[in-house]
């Protein structure tokens, strides 16, 4: 059993991203990553009136993969590879930036005609050094293609990787697990023990872990493997993740992640000089390099 102590509890920091309130959990000063997961934002829930919505204009990434997962709402993804995909609740978008990609995420035009609500999780996954400069890719997985384990006390949707006897069809570059779990009060779940680093983020509700109680919205990180058990004190929703630690440090600057600071400097110059590819259908806005 993994033991929980205060340094392993992460409190969210509030931010505003593209008009959407977010709770940021990773990275923090004392905890940069969990396995390969290097960035974790809990988006919303946010209410938008008619004519309004999220506007994440075209922006670049390198040397990472991004994940978007919605509980509610929809987002229109466009990227410089030419993909044009509406993301719905339960779907997984896995976008590998590799040597460089540009994408935008916006509330779809048809949704803006009415009041709407957006709620979900956005993650960045650092790529192994051998894959950092791979060709960019985009893969969309509808929610009905992702496996689910359920009983009368709850369910676990295995979004990425393997766990709880199921395996996701999403192809990754390193071993990891990412799941969405809903459990009723009085029931429990066990974290997978096949990864040296795992974490549970409580979206809603309250759980007991050993002698500790975790209330939403907070994250608990487990190190050293072992099958940590979480007992729901009330109906609760959790995001579960884990994986193998990175083989070296990663640097983050703006939307760039890399094992090389020199590579990030090159990406800065390339974006400023507008050498990144364009996003078809979304070329009117340009986000300046932060000063």
User: pTM of this prediction?
Assistant: 0.94
Minimal CA–CA distance to 140: which of 83, 55, 61, 73? 83
Mean pLDDT, residues 88-102 taken together? 97
Give the residue among 23, 11, 35 at the shortest CA–CA distance from 175.
Answer: 35
Average pLDDT of the segment spanning 99-126: 97
Least confident window among 32-41, 81-90, 210-219: 210-219
Average pLDDT, the chain: 93
Mean pLDDT computed over 109-116: 96
Give the span between the Cα atoms of 104 and 106, in whole angstroms.
7
What residues are paired with 229 via a beta bridge? 190
| Least confident interval from 124-138, 183-197, 257-271 | 183-197
Angle at 282 between CA 87 and CA 104, to 5 degrees: 40
pLDDT value of residue 226: 63
pLDDT of 3 over the 70 cut? no
| Mean pLDDT computed over 20-38 | 93
Mean pLDDT value of segment 110-123: 96
In this structure, which long-range contacts are made by residues 265-273, counting pairs with CB atoms below 8 Å and at least 24 apart in sequence? 267/60, 267/62, 267/100, 270/60, 270/100, 271/60
Residues 123-143 have a mean pLDDT of 98
pLDDT at 192: 87
Strand 166-167 with 176-183, pairing: unpaired
Lowest mean pLDDT among 5-19, 121-135, 246-260, 275-289: 5-19
Q: What is the pLDDT of residue 6?
A: 38
What are the tens digits of pLDDT across the range 30-82?
899 999 999 999 999 999 999 999 999 999 999 999 999 999 999 999 999 99
């Amino acid at each position: 059993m993994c033991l929980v102590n205060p340094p392993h509890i992460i409190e969210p920091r509030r931010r505003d991203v593209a008009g959407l309130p977010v709770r940021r959990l990773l990275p923090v000063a004392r905890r940069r990553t969990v396995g390969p997961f290097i960035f974790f934002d809990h988006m919303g829930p946010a209410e938008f009136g008619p004519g309004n919505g999220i506007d994440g204009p075209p922006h670049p990434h390198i040397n990472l993969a991004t994940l978007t997962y919605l509980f509610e709402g929809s987002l229109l993804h466009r990227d410089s590879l030419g993909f044009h995909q509406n993301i719905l609740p339960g779907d997984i978008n896995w976008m590998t930036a590799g040597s460089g990609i540009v994408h935008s995420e916006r509330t779809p035009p048809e949704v803006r005609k009415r009041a709407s609500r957006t709620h979900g999780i956005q993650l960045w996954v650092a790529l192994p050094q051998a894959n950092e400069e791979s060709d960019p890719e985009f893969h969309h997985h509808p929610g009905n293609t992702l496996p689910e384990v359920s009983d009368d006390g709850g369910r676990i949707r295995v979004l990425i990787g393997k766990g709880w006897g199921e395996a996701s069809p999403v192809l990754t570059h390193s071993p990891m697990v990412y799941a969405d779990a809903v459990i009723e009060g009085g029931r429990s779940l066990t974290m997978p023990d096949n990864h040296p680093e795992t974490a549970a983020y409580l979206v809603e509700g309250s759980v007991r872990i050993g002698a500790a109680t975790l209330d939403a919205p907070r994250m608990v990180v487990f190190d050293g493997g072992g099958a940590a058990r979480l007992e729901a004190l009330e109906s609760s929703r959790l995001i579960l993740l884990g994986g193998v630690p990175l083989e070296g440090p990663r640097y983050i600057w703006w939307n760039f992640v890399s094992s090389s600071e020199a590579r990030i400097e090159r990406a800065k110059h390339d974006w400023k000089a507008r050498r990144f590819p364009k996003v078809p259908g979304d070329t009117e806005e340009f986000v300046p390099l932060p000063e």
